[in-house]
Amino acid sequence: MYQTTIKKPVELVGIGLHKGSAVKLRLEPLESNSGIIFYRSDVDVSIPLLPSNVVDTRMATVIGKDGFVISTIEHMLSAIYAYGIDNIRVIVDADEVPVMDGSSASFCMLLDEAGIAELEVPKKIMIIKKEVMVEDGDKYVKLSPSPDLKYDFTIKFAHPVIQTQDFVLHFTKQGYKDEIARARTFGFLHEVQYLRSKGLALGGSLENAIVLDDKKVLNPEGLRFGNEFVRHKILDAIGDMSLIGMNFVGNYEAMAGSHHLNHRLTLELLKNPQNYEVIELVGEKTKELEKAYA
């Protein structure tokens, strides 16, 4: 199996969640071993997707360089990672990726339009060799060895619509598109009101997020899945774990995980080479792994 990029450039325009302004997003092919490179065309700054370039994880995963940032990258990265794309240039003309409908479905459609191109260098993949965990009170995220890729997430909210939800995704590209990609981000009405008072979430609406008051979902169309909330948390986790720098094989497990814990997990994993092994997908032994990204 070989490294991949996209066949042709594609672009779209959407609203930025925090500024509420139109943002142009363009995806371009890159050659082998380039990785994922973000570029802000408005300030002429490139930001490679590296854990060391993460500058904020409070409300979204934010990368930055030389004082310039790009926010809310995790939904688009989730789709890129699920499609097994190793090399791609992501261009935006503002400081955030457009939120679209609050899920990664629009980014999946954009990648389908672009198509996937194989390059001439073997694909690298990370095999998790030892359990790695980070905790914050009763919250935790961890990676453990497994013969395949699985995301196992549990959330608990003191809200009558959410309460305790859990979901397990045995990862395949098609499974991601069917079970995860359409799950939207969510927030509570009082939080939205507070954020707007601070000049944030100006682009947030019922068109791009699930919004709840104290008792119910405010979106007229309701939920796309009965447990859409925990499915979106898996969507976020897949995007956040792309900071590892390649697809991995192992079991990801979370109890009330967050962008911050996911970032800490990537740092904890990468600081000790004994935690993992990087292999090239060549020969018959990789056939099972290749199926996940078919």
Catalytic residues, by residue number, are 259
Residue with tokens 């925090």: 18
Strands (E), the chain: 2-6, 10-15, 22-29, 36-40, 45-48, 54-56, 62-65, 68-70, 88-92, 116-122, 124-128, 132-136, 139-144, 150-157, 163-170, 186-188, 210-212, 248-249, 251-255, 276-280
Under DSSP, is residue 166 helix (H, G, I), strand (E, B) or coil?
Answer: strand
d(CA 191, CA 189): 5
In Å, the largest CA–CA distance within the chain is 57
| Measured distance CA(280)–CA(93) in Å, rounded | 35
